[in-house]
With several copies, the nearest count.
Chain A
Amino acid sequence: MKVEGNDWFYTKEVKEHFMNPKNFLKEEKEIKEFNGYGKVGNMKCGDVMEIWLLIEKNKIKDVRWRTFGCASAIASTSAMSEMVKGMSIHNALKLTASDIMDKLKGLPAIKVHCSVLGDEALREAIKDYESNNN
């Protein structure tokens, strides 16, 4: 049995991404660099996520995000942002919630459907890019 005082509720990976998230949008002015945008979720459920993509030659060159939600929502967005950087659109479209969860070494069952919106936001942003560039 492990009952350490500062044990965490989520995995080490979730904790790291939550406490020190990667690729989030620091300033508004960064936005103009990006060419794909997606937003999913709603306030009633308590989770909202925005994503910005910089797509060049069908590759995701860079990514930024913002998330309103619990630790797992924030961590899963951060993890997703690391995963897609450098990916082809083709592969990014195949990314699933369970891929993100694997990267985080798991999430509590109750958290899965509400907080892992990264794959949806990603698809939204790619769709946005495609509708503007085709």
Chain B
Amino acid sequence: MTKTKNIQNTAKELYMDYSATTPTRQAVLDEALPFFVEKYGNPSSFHSTGLVAKRTLQDARERVAKILNCDEKEIVFTGSGTESINLALKGIAFKNMIKNKGLGKGTFITGKIEHPAVLETLEWLEKFGFNIIEIDVDMNGIINLKQLQNDIKKNQEEGLPVLLVSIMYANNEIGTIQPLKEISEICHKYGVPLHSDGCQGAEYLPLDVTKLGVDMLTLNGSKIYGFKGTGLLYKNKNVIIESLIHGGGHENNLRAGTENIAGIVAMAKALEIAEKEKKKETIRLKKLRNYMVKKIKKEIPKVIYNGSATKRLPNNVNFSFEGIEGESILLRLNEAGIRVSTGSACASQSLDPSHVLLAIGLPHGLAHGSIRFTFGKDTTKQKIDYTIRELKSSIKFLRTISPEWNKQKSWRKR
């Protein structure tokens, strides 16, 4: 317990929840800072103060386009990853509705383990008449490609055009990386555009949109050491969508409103740093990830490693612990200064455990008993060792008081 205190007292909390959000990098903040008090112009203003902002915006757009290997006109800066996803999906939907005088006609296909930003947007679009299909994943969380192809084919044959396929790049809970290139080949065979939610992939995976084969890609700042409340949509120029937020002609008429220059500069800088560190950090974190996985499997009995062993983000570890519930593990770790997340319903606003864990086939009990550790720039072997020590003792204690854990052994008097 002295160790815990030390960590808390030095305010060096042991953050293992980088997939929830990241701190802003100091270098990112430094580059964005002048755009608050000093260079505060509005890019639409026709004077030198505005021009500084306009050039800064243009420059940020070019820097991002270079990383994504696309045209700068194909970048739309948004106010979050969620807004970018909404723009992509509703942008397609509204275009279809306008063509059909209000009614949505056609199918959207997505996966079962998508982020709520995708699933709830599509659920909402269902109300306007669209047909929504959620493709299954296997026990590793990989999308069923055959089912995808069949569903596209069947819909097209039945005269229901498939308007868009949206499959995430990497999953936020179990870190599973989807085979985007193969998915895109299937989509393009049938002339269907592909959108991908790349929020969790941006820090560690390649972002060349041509190589990925995506027609739209969502990224955000809050997962890559940028600013919260920033995001972007890459949209291939051949894909035509409606705007989600109308007003001035900002962002190529796709997102009106005074541009968040500081946030956009932060986004460009964060992506550049990610790009530069990608290779090295992937190697470093993969090693730490494999170390942690091995050690947990060895030192704690009856655990389930959730997700794919290989097609996985380098910074994601997700385990279910038999016989105990995730929130209670999370809060005991929290007392030890360690910040993690859980798929348990108890730590969320809902009553059901993680839809991702259920989709890969976990029973409710194990889904409630999951803990996600996600690493980042300040994660070290020492911190992982400390985490495992605290994890072990928490698990041991909680199992002692768990009727589930002691079920087999339990007996009643008489």
Contact = CB atoms under 8 A, between A and B. Distances in A.
Question: Do A and B come from the same complex?
Answer: yes
A9 B410 CA distance: 33
A7 B48 contact: yes
A110 B349 contact: yes
Interface residues of B, number: 44
Nearest to B406: A66
Interface string B319-355: 0000111011001100100000000111101010100
Nearest to B50: A9
Contact of B325 (A3, A19, A28, A69): A69
Contacts of B49: 5
Q: Which of B49, B324, B332, B365 has the most CB of A within 10 A?
A: B365
B128 to A, nearest CB: 31
Interface stretch (A42-50, A82-90, A91-99): A42-50
A67 B59 contact: no
Contacts of A2: 55
B46 A7 contact: no
A134 interface: no
Interface of B: 8, 11, 13, 39, 46, 48-49, 51-52, 55-56, 59, 323-325, 327-328, 331-332, 335, 344-347, 349, 351, 353, 363-365, 368, 400-406, 409-414
21 contacts: A1-B59, A5-B13, A6-B8, A7-B55, A8-B48, A28-B410, A31-B412, A31-B413, A32-B413, A33-B413, A46-B368, A48-B404, A50-B410, A65-B401, A66-B401, A66-B403, A67-B403, A70-B327, A71-B327, A73-B325, A114-B351
Given A4-B52, A31-B410, A45-B351, 13 more contacts: A3-B52, A7-B52, A21-B401, A31-B411, A32-B413, A33-B413, A43-B363, A48-B404, A50-B410, A68-B323, A68-B403, A73-B325, A114-B346
